[in-house]
């Protein structure tokens, strides 16, 4: 072995492909951040466990839910290497993780030796709890009631089965150990950070009602799923300080769930007062990527079971596309969610099937550039927008995509070298023409609307 590598060097080798050199999560934050992550604070055995055995399933990191898979790194790394990496990660980027004691990795490796599957976030929280974050709810208690209802009953006329204090300041229906036919009332104080108008969003399976200062702010009565279709938004002006808070909830059948968030009117960030709902309940791994910070996000090789090397881009305006490196063309454009890999793409079998979502437009599924055309890769501008490059003999064709006005995409084709070239565009209804003819040294910009 040569000279020993520092924790930072080892981090670069073994972690930064997914967590990014700056710790903010690779692919514009499609992977979870280590910078500022509460998962590396407190008992250092937690992060050792993650590195040794990996991690899968839903996990909340800094207000965002991920549902991905981190492969175990224990076999690839020695105890000394893990120690060096974690002592770097725990203090890099302003992190407040504890120093890892010299022998702890060896001890932890022996302790978790018989473990054959990656950890889940709830398992880790049970073994190594994260210090509780403060929410706007204080002095919170829950009262659980038994009974079958189709509407929110008057709980004050019913005797509670159980009363508990909820120190985490979160509204969570699983405080009831029952799955069906029960109700819960939470009471406490909502701390308004200033005198202002506030916005609340409530959704649940089944019914729920938010009351602040004796005013009903949002109510979803009756039974039904928590899929967003019944979610209610309410606004109320509050004076700074502690406001009497009450949430009534009943569960008839189906999954017991409640989501609840608030913000000051006119601000952007939501504050969660429940656990954040996970985007997909599928048993298959879900990979939900969203453009963040006004940047385009990229996902490679996600069209499983197809022959094409698809590269997906989700643009901040809400449009998405897949470029095929085999067919040298943008094949699909769609609007809305960029992608949930489990819902749209996994297990689709053979063939290049488009996602089943709304407004999916097939531009082409054939290769129409001349036979000698070769994919030369792509580059990204600083907003993350792609330019695909194709060589055709001595000519080079570049094909750039970026968001335009009102949700449209702007596509610029540029040709260099050789002589004039006719470039088929596929679906003429979307591109506005079947082809464009480009002279060397010239470019043309097309707008792709979706409706």
- Kindly tell me which of 37 and 172 has the beta carbon lying closer to ligand HEC: 37
Angstrom distances, CA of residue 42 to CA of 131, 197, 364 = 7, 36, 53
Q: Which of 48, 52, 61, 84 binds ligand HEC (CB under 6 A)?
A: 61
Euclidean distance between CA atoms 212 and 249, whole angstroms? 15
Segment interacting with ligand HEC (CB under 6 A) among 61-69, 179-187, 208-216, 393-401: 61-69
- Kindly tell me which of 93 and 270 has the beta carbon lying closer to ligand HEC: 93
30-59 positions binding ligand HEC, by CB under 6 A? 31-34, 37, 39-40, 47, 50-51, 55-57, 59
**Among 301, 315, 386, 309, which residue's Cα sits nearest to residue 345?**
301
Tokens at 332, concatenated: 């699909």
- Kindly tell me which of 89 and 328 has the beta carbon lying closer to ligand HEC: 89
71-100 positions binding ligand HEC, by CB under 6 A? 71, 73, 85, 89
Minimum separation from the CB atom of position 48 to ligand HEC (A): 9
Minimum separation from the CB atom of position 243 to ligand HEC (A): 34
**Among 249, 237, 153, which residue's Cα sits nearest to residue 209?**
249
Segment interacting with ligand HEC (CB under 6 A) among 16-24, 106-114, 217-225, 418-426: 16-24
**Are the C-beta atoms of 6 and 88 separated by less than 8 Å?**
yes
Euclidean distance between CA atoms 327 and 309, whole angstroms? 9
Euclidean distance between CA atoms 157 and 144, whole angstroms? 13
Euclidean distance between CA atoms 295 and 291, whole angstroms? 6
Euclidean distance between CA atoms 109 and 219, whole angstroms? 50
Q: Is the peptide bond before 206 cis (omega within 30 degrees of 0)?
A: yes
Segment interacting with ligand HEC (CB under 6 A) among 68-76, 331-339, 408-416, 439-447: 68-76
- Kindly tell me which of 64 and 264 has the beta carbon lying closer to ligand HEC: 64
Q: What are all long-range contacts of 283-287, with beta carbons under 8 Å and residues at least 24 apart?
A: 284/342, 284/346, 284/347, 285/56, 285/67, 285/68, 285/69, 285/341, 285/342, 285/346, 286/67, 286/340, 286/341, 286/342, 286/343, 287/67, 287/68, 287/339, 287/340, 287/341, 287/342
- Kindly tell me which of 88 and 245 has the beta carbon lying closer to ligand HEC: 88
- Kindly tell me which of 148 and 304 has the beta carbon lying closer to ligand HEC: 304
- Kindly tell me which of 12 and 398 has the beta carbon lying closer to ligand HEC: 12
Minimum separation from the CB atom of position 57 to ligand HEC (A): 5
- Kindly tell me which of 14 and 375 has the beta carbon lying closer to ligand HEC: 14
Cα angle at 144 between 257 and 250, to 5 degrees? 40
- Kindly tell me which of 37 and 252 has the beta carbon lying closer to ligand HEC: 37
Segment interacting with ligand HEC (CB under 6 A) among 69-77, 177-185, 259-267, 320-328: 69-77
Residue found under tokens 């298959």: 284
Minimum separation from the CB atom of position 65 to ligand HEC (A): 9
Q: Which of 15, 137, 176, 217 binds ligand HEC (CB under 6 A)?
A: 15
Euclidean distance between CA atoms 122 and 132, whole angstroms? 14
Q: Which of 20, 66, 200, 312 binds ligand HEC (CB under 6 A)?
A: 66
Q: How many residues bind ligand HEC (CB under 6 A)?
A: 29
**Among 115, 57, 108, 110, which residue's Cα sits nearest to residue 83?**
108
- Kindly tell me which of 17 and 163 has the beta carbon lying closer to ligand HEC: 17
Q: Which of 68, 185, 297, 409 binds ligand HEC (CB under 6 A)?
A: 68
Is residue 115 part of the contact set for ligand HEC (CB under 6 A)?
A: no
Q: Which H/E stretch holds residue 267?
A: none
Minimum separation from the CB atom of position 120 to ligand HEC (A): 7
Minimum separation from the CB atom of position 102 to ligand HEC (A): 18
3-state secondary structure (DSSP) of residue 8: helix
**Distance between first and last Cα of the chain:** 61
Site string for ligand HEC, 258-287 (x = CB under 6 A): ------------------------------
**Are the C-beta atoms of 282 and 343 separated by less than 8 Å?**
yes
**Are the C-beta atoms of 307 and 352 separated by less than 8 Å?**
yes
Minimum separation from the CB atom of position 129 to ligand HEC (A): 15
Minimum separation from the CB atom of position 19 to ligand HEC (A): 6
Residue ranges in contact with ligand HEC by CB under 6 A = 14-15, 17-19, 31-34, 37, 39-40, 47, 50-51, 55-57, 59, 61, 66-71, 73, 85, 89
């Amino acid at each position: 072995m040569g000279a020993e590598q520092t924790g930072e060097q080892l981090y670069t080798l073994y972690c930064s492909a997914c967590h990014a050199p700056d710790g903010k999560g690779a692919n514009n934050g499609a992977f979870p951040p280590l910078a500022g992550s509460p998962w590396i604070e407190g008992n250092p055995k937690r992060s050792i466990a993650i590195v040794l055995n990996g991690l899968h399933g839903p996990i909340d990191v800094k207000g965002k839910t991920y549902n991905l898979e981190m492969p175990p790194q224990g076999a690839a790394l020695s105890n000394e290497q893990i120690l060096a990496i974690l002592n770097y990660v725990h203090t890099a980027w302003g992190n407040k993780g504890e120093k890892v004691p010299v022998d702890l990795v060896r001890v932890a490796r022996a302790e978790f030796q018989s473990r054959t599957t990656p950890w889940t976030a709830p398992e880790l929280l049970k073994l190594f709890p994260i210090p509780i974050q403060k929410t706007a709810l204080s002095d919170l208690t829950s009262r659980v009631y038994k009974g079958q209802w189709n509407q929110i009953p008057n709980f004050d006329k019913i005797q509670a089965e159980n009363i508990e204090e909820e120190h985490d300041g979160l509204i969570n229906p699983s405080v009831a150990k029952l799955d069906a036919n029960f109700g819960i009332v939470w009471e406490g104080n909502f701390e308004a950070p200033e005198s202002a108008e506030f916005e609340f969003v409530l959704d649940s399976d089944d019914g729920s009602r938010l009351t602040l200062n004796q005013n009903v702010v949002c109510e979803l009565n009756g039974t039904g799923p928590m899929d967003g279709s019944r979610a209610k938004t309410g606004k109320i002006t509050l004076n700074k300080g502690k406001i009497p808070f009450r949430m009534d909830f009943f569960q008839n059948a189906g999954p017991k769930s409640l989501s609840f968030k608030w913000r000051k009117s006119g601000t952007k960030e939501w504050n969660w007062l429940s656990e954040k709902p996970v985007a997909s309940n599928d048993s298959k791994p879900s990979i939900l990527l969203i453009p963040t910070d006004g940047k385009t996000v990229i996902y490679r090789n996600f069209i499983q079971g197809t022959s094409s090397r698809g590269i997906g881009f989700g643009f901040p305006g809400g449009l998405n596309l897949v470029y095929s490196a085999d067919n040298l063309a943008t094949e699909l454009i769609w609007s809305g969610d960029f992608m949930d890999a489990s819902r749209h793409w996994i297990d689709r079998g053979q063939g290049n099937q488009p996602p089943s979502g709304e407004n999916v437009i097939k531009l082409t599924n054939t290769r129409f550039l001349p036979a000698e055309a070769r994919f030369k890769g792509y580059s990204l501008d600083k907003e993350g927008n792609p330019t695909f490059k194709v060589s055709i003999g001595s000519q080079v064709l570049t094909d750039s995509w970026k968001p335009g006005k009102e949700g449209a995409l702007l596509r610029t084709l540029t040709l260099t070298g050789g002589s004039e070239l006719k470039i088929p565009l596929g679906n003429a209804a979307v591109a506005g023409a079947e082809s464009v003819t480009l002279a060397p040294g010239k470019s043309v910009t097309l707008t792709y609307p979706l409706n």
